[in-house]
Amino acid sequence: MKYLIAGLGNIGEEYEDTRHNIGFSVLDSFSAKFNLKFEDRRYGFICRFPFKGEQIILLKPSTYMNLSGYAVSYWMKKEKVELNNLLVIVDDIALPLGTVRMRPGGSDGGHNGLAHISALLGTNEYARIRIGIGNDFPKGRQKDYVLSKWTPEEKPVVNEKISLVTNMIISFVTAGTEITMTRYNTPRRSTREKSQN
């Protein structure tokens, strides 16, 4: 069985370690953990990882964020990966910093990378992990915010969540989406809890 794990981001040194590139950061962490190397291939950087009889394929698209669908659809077809074996990892400004949510499908939530993938695949019914990057930016400055680097205060939180998501990838492959969601999703805070903070 083959699994395609796509971490979204933008290529280039200027985008390294930025909020929008957390998908890349997760796959870099995963590859470092298992001593894997990425190869520059068509539409992206690819890394293969045989694990417990399964084949995990890591993909960092080189198409830039808004055209991520070209890379995901190409490698799904080339490797004959089934839709339910696709996992996409993205940043999400709608979630507080440090929040991690996995879903089996759904809307793109305004994320251009997810929107392009859904358009190319013709469906939004594929698993995704959304990592909260917060939304502490002035009105009209969203682009500057998502392309900015983490602050020293944010970095420890981000590193912890990156490590968590690398574990979620293994869980997704070995146990499936529903069990992984139950194990790892950040609990929703009640309205009362939010008002007390």
| CATH number reported for the structural domain that contains residue 79 in this entry | 3.40.50.1470
Range of the domain at 100: 2-196
Q: Among all residues, which ones are annotated catalytic? A: 20
Distance of alpha carbon 185 from the chain centroid: 14
pLDDT at 189: 60
- Taking alpha carbons only, the member of 166, 195, 197 closest to residue 180 is 166
Q: Report the amino acid identity of residue 112.
A: N
pLDDT tens column, 161-174: 999 999 999 999 99
pLDDT string in tens for the chain (197-residue length):
999 999 999 999 999 999 999 999 999 999 999 999 999 999 999 999 999 999 999 999 999 999 999 999 999 999 999 999 999 999 999 999 989 999 999 999 989 999 999 999 999 999 999 999 998 888 888 899 999 999 999 999 999 999 999 999 999 999 999 999 999 998 866 444 444 44
Please list, in sequence order, all residues whose beta carbon lies within 8 angstroms of the beta carbon of residue 175, skipping any fewer than 6 positions away: 183
Separation of first and last alpha carbons in the chain: 46
Rounded to two decimals, what is the model's pTM?
Answer: 0.93
Q: Report the amino acid identity of residue 158.
A: V
Number of structural domains (the chain) is 1
Give the integer Cα–Cα distance in Å for 75 and 59.
8
Residue 3 vs residues 132, 155, 173: alpha-carbon distances, Å: 24, 29, 7
